[in-house]
Amino acid sequence: MNYNRTLTEKQRAQLRGIRHVALDMDGTIYLGSRIFPYTLDFLSRLRKAGIGYSFLTNNPTKSVADYLAKLAGMGIQAGEENMYTTSLAAIDYIKRQYPQARRLFLLGTPSMVSQFEKAGFEACADDPDDRPDVLVVAFDMTLTYPRLCRAAWWAAQGIPYVATNPDRVCPTDQRVVLVDCGSLQKCIEHATGRRPDIVLGKPDPTMLDGIRLRHGLAPQEIAMVGDRIYTDTAMAHNAGAVGVLVLSGETKLQTALDVAADEQACLASGRTPEFHAPDFIVRDIAELGDLLLENR
């Protein structure tokens, strides 16, 4: 872990080995609808240094095309190869684990459904005779009660069951609670006793595994950068990647220092810590860019 810019040789070696930066979005490259003033320069510096980058999000409600349009509206030019969502993670997972699967019952937004259809899957109807190969439950802001009941029905029938992300609520500055995928999973579990076979999204390492396989990287060649210890840098730890916490979003410095102190106390007493300290703590991605270039 680093914050005072005094690096150990191990940390310098970690920085030298980074070939790809996986970037959380809200709180890391922008905040709400406002891009940080240093984001475009940071991305330019990565390109000039020959370091690749991807944008990651736990939010599956938008297709890749919709996310790229949002980034373009902020001045960030990116292609499909730069974007990785929990929808893509679910698609890659299903293709690896259930290669014969074609028909899915998708509890998700029309934009998300379009991403699965683009990948060659068919969306099943809300019909007990239209049996899917896999059930996919996601954050669905277009949710209707009948479709929730149908998802619970298929979960109860033992259909392979994939959830896109563990988030209980989606952050918002509006005066409302946005019930997210994790809460829908709990609803289905309470009704049927069935939990998902896998919950993708941060902190599960599957998203970083997808980036690793896509770009032919070793885990330690990827830096996962984000503003949350319990999702972003936890995923880095779980995937064997380098975890970088930025202080431009949710997590404050004292919280990160408390996590580091708790981890040390747990290790000293033989207990397993709930969370692991990030490998690096930086003010923002501009400071990370400085560290990367200084140690090339």
Distance CA 47, CA 225 (A): 17
Fold of 88-199: Rossmann fold (3.40.50)
pLDDT digits 0-9 by tens, 48-104? 999 999 999 988 999 999 999 999 999 998 999 999 999 999 999 999 999 999 999
- Computed over every residue of the chain, the mean pLDDT equals 93
User: Do the domains 9-58+203-294 and 88-199 sit in the same CATH topology, yes or no?
Assistant: yes
The pLDDT tens digits for 207-264 are 999 899 889 999 999 999 999 898 999 999 999 999 999 999 888 999 999 998 999 9
Q: Does residue 34 have a pLDDT over 90?
A: no
* Per-residue pLDDT, 5: 63
Q: How many whole angstroms separate alpha carbon 245 and alpha carbon 231?
A: 11
How, if at all, do strands 242-246 and 222-226 pair? parallel
pLDDT tens, residue by residue, 188-209 = 999 999 999 999 999 999 899 9
Domain 9-58+203-294 is of which CATH architecture?
A: 3-Layer(aba) Sandwich (3.40)
Q: Is the pLDDT of residue 175 over 90?
A: no
Domain boundaries, the chain: 9-58+203-294, 88-199
Q: What is the pTM of this model?
A: 0.85
CA distance 245 to 252: 10
Question: Which amino acid type is present at position 45?
Answer: R
Name the residue among 296, 290, 236 with its Cα closest to residue 5.
Answer: 290
Q: What is the reported pLDDT for 135?
A: 98
The alpha carbon of residue 6 and the mean position of all alpha carbons in its chain are separated, in whole angstroms, by 29
